[in-house]
Amino acid sequence: MALKLFNTLSRSIEEFVPLDPDSKQVGMYCCGPTVYDSAHIGNFRTFVFADLVRRYLEFKGYRTRFVMNITDVEDKIIGRVREAKIPLREYTGKYEAAFFEDLKNLGCLPPHDTPHATEFIPEIIALVEKLITRGLAYKAADSSVYFSIDKYRGCGCVYGQLLKLNFDEMRTGERVKSDDYSKESVADFALWKARVPEDGDVFWPSPWGEGRPGWHIECSAMSMKLLGPSFDLHLGGEDLIFPHHEDEIAQSEGAGLQPSGQPFVKHWMHGAHLLVEGRKMSKSLGNYYVLHDLTSKGFTGREIRFLLLSAHYRETFNFTVKGLEGAQTSLARIDECLAKLRELAGNSQAPPDSTLVEAFSRALDEDLNVAGAWGVVFDWVRDTNRHLAENSLTPVQAAAALAAWNRVDSVLGVGAAPETEVPTELTALLDQRQAARKARDFKRADVIREELKAKGWVIEDTPKGARLKRL
C-alpha cells in the first residue's frame, strides 16, 4: 500500500514519492530546538512526530537520512547569554545536553545529523553572497543584509508557497530585523545582522562587517549542505510555516542551486500544537511542562511518548495530567499482554503474524492515522488476551504475535521494557546493593534500598535476578 501524507505545499494529501522515485532513500530535515532553555513537551510533540515519520518511512523500507539542527545562535539566545554573562557555547551546551537526554527518554531515535548553526557560518556567508550576486539581497545602511521580497517576486518566484499572503498590505521598502514576525508584517527579512553592542561576544567576520546570521538562513544553509539543494521532506511545528519556512524556501530557491524544475523541498509536513487548557503550550504563556516536571511526578518517558502519539499530528491536542494517567493505564495493558506472551513463547521463534502488522500499516498509510493504528493495537491486545485466557495459543503462535508487536513497535517506539528506562546511576546503585548482599553487608544493602526508594524505585526480585520498578 502506498503511503499518503498531507503536504503543506499543495494543501492536500498526496502519495509520498521521494524526489528520486527509484531510490528508497529519503532526505528529511526537521527544525530542531533553540537551545536557550529546556525544551517543553509541546516542543517534544513536534520532535516525537518527526521521529514517528522517520520510523514509519523506515518501516516502509526507506533508508532515511534525518537531519535535525540545533539552533545555537539567534535573538533569544543572545538575550539570555547577555543576562547569564557566560560564553555562548557554555550557555547553549547545557540545554543541548538536556535536550538530547530528553529526546532519548522519549524513545526518539537519534537523528543522523544534528548540525549546529554556529558551525555553518562559512556556508551561511556563501549563501548570502550568492543571494547578493543574484540581486535578491542587499546590504542596508545599518550594514545588515536583507532578502528583497520584491526582487524575488520580480523574478517570477512565488513568496507565499506555504501560506497565502496579501501583498496589497505590504509596504514596499519595509524591513524586519527580528527573527520572529507575523504574516501581517511581511517584509524584507534579515539574512545577516550587523553587530550591535548588545550582541556582546557573539559575532563573526563577514564580507559585510562583523555580525551574525539571521535564524532563517541557518536552516537553509544546514539543510542544503547536508541533504543537497533539493530534498524530500521538511518538518516542523505549524508555527514555523510563516515566516520561518516561507523564508527558507525563498532563500534556498532564490540561490538557484536546485537542478532545473526541482523545488527546495518536495514535501512539507507540519505538526499541530500541544495545548494546555486550549492555549498553545509556550514559555511566554508560562503554561508549560518540561519533561522533568512529569518524570518527577512518576511518569516515564514512554508514557509521555504514548500520550504525545495518541492524537493525529495535524490536530491540536490538549495536554492534561489525567490524559497521562490514561496513557499509563493503556501502556500497562500492553505490557501485561506482552509479558504473558513472552512467558508462553519461551524460546520459540516465529516470523511476525502479518494480520496485526498489515492492519497497523493500513492505518498509518492514511496520513499517519495514529488513532486507527492504536485502535488496531488495542483490538489485538483484547483478542490476544482472550486467546491467552482460553489457552488457545501455542508457544510458536505467541512468538509470532511477539514478532508482530516488535515490528509495530519499531514505529511506535514505546515497547522498551520498563527496566531499560531505569537511569544508569540507579542501575549502578542496584549493582552495589547486590554486591553488598553478596558480601553479607546487609546494613549497606538496606541503606541502598532506602536510597532507591527515596528516588521512587523499589527492588523486585525476579527469577532473572533483582530489577528496579517504579514505586
Q: Are 191 and 218 in contact (CB under 8 A)?
A: no
- DSSP output for 231-292: EEEEEEEGGGIIIIIHHHHHHHHHTT-SPTT--SEEEEEEEPPEEETTEE--TTTT---BHH
Q: Select the span of 30-38, 126-134, 258-266, 360-368 touching Zn ion (CB under 5 A).
A: 30-38
Give the residue from 231, 64, 251 showing the smallest Cα distance to 157. Answer: 251
Alpha helices in 139-259 (DSSP H): 149-154, 215-227, 246-254
Binding to Zn ion (CB under 5 A) within 159-198 occurs at: none
How many whole angstroms separate alpha carbon 94 and alpha carbon 4?
39
Among the listed residues 196, 192, 190, the one whose alpha carbon sits nearest the alpha carbon of residue 213: 192
Of Zn ion, ligand AMP, none, which one does residue 219 interact with (CB within 5 to 8 Å by kind)?
Answer: Zn ion
Residue 271: beta bridge partners? 237
Residues present in the chain in total: 471
Q: Which is nearer to Zn ion, 245 or 449 (CB)?
A: 245
**Which three cell numbers mark 421?**
528506562
Residue 355: contacted member of ligand AMP, Zn ion, none (CB under 5 to 8 Å, by partner type)? none
Residue 226 C-alpha cell reads as 547536508
45 is an interface residue for ligand AMP by CB under 6 A: yes
Contact window for ligand AMP (CB under 6 A) among 146-154, 225-233, 266-274, 452-460:
266-274
Q: How far apart are CA 111 and CA 75, in angstroms?
A: 25
In the complex with ligand AMP, the residue whose CB is nearer, 30 or 334, is 30
The helix or strand, by DSSP H or E, that contains position 360, with its residue range, turns out to be helix 354-365
**What does 185 interact with, of ligand AMP, Zn ion, none (CB < 5 to 8 A by kind)?**
none
Q: Write down the H helix ranges in 284-320.
A: 291-295, 301-308
Pairing of strands 137-139, 63-68: unpaired
Binding mask 171-190 for ligand AMP (x = CB under 6 A): --------------------
Would strands 231-237 and 4-7 be described as parallel, antiparallel, or unpaired? unpaired
Shortest Cβ 470–ligand AMP spacing (Å): 27
Residues 6+ apart with CB under 8 A from 24: 18, 61, 62, 63
CB of 89 to ligand AMP, least distance (A): 18
Beta carbon nearer to ligand AMP, 44 or 457: 44
Q: Which three cell numbers stand for residue 133?
A: 550576486
Q: Which does 129 bind (CB under 5 to 8 A by kind): Zn ion, ligand AMP, none?
A: none
Whose Cβ is closer to ligand AMP: residue 195's or residue 212's? 212
Q: Which is nearer to ligand AMP, 222 or 404 (CB)?
A: 222
CB nearer to Zn ion: pick between 270 and 280? 270
Tell me, residue by residue from 268 to 287, as one string, x for binding to ligand AMP by CB under 6 A and - for no binding: ---x-xx-----xxx-----
CB under 8 Å to 400, separation ≥6 — which residues? 350, 351, 352, 353
Q: Does 115 bind ligand AMP (CB under 6 A)?
A: no
Contacts of 134 (CB under 8 A, 6+ apart): 254, 255, 256
Strands (E), 149-198: 175-176, 188-194
Q: Taking the complex as a whole, how short is the minimal distance between the CB of residue 32 and Zn ion, in angstroms?
A: 8
Footprint on residues 213-242 left by ligand AMP (CB under 6 A)? 236-237, 239-240
Residue 195 interacting partner from Zn ion, ligand AMP, none (CB closer than 5 to 8 Å by kind): none
CA triple 471-291-278, angle to 5 deg? 115
Stretch that binds ligand AMP, among 19-27, 267-275, 384-392, 419-427 (CB under 6 A): 267-275
| H helical segments located in 85-158 | 88-105, 121-133, 149-154
For Zn ion, the binding residues in 221-250 under the rule CB under 5 A are none
262 alpha-carbon distance from chain centroid: 26
Residue nearest to ligand AMP according to CB distances in the complex: 237
Residues in contact with ligand AMP, counted by CB under 6 A, come to a total of: 17
Q: Judged by CB under 5 A, does residue 219 bind Zn ion?
A: yes
Q: Which stretch binds ligand AMP (CB under 6 A): 37-45, 193-201, 203-211, 352-360?
A: 37-45
Closer to ligand AMP by Cβ: residue 254 or 271: 271
Binding mask 74-113 for ligand AMP (x = CB under 6 A): ----------------------------------------
- Least distance in angstroms from the C-beta of 312 to ligand AMP: 13
| Among the listed residues 5, 26, 38, 42, the single contact to ligand AMP using CB under 6 A | 42
240 to 259, contacts with ligand AMP by CB under 6 A?
240
Decide which of Zn ion, ligand AMP, none touches 281; Cβ closer than 5 to 8 Å per partner kind: ligand AMP
Q: What is the CA radius of gyration of the chain?
A: 25
Comparing CB distances to Zn ion, the nearer of 246 and 367 is 246
Report the interface residues with Zn ion, using CB under 5 A. Answer: 31, 219
Report the interface residues with ligand AMP, using CB under 6 A. Answer: 31, 33-34, 42-43, 45-46, 236-237, 239-240, 271, 273-274, 280-282
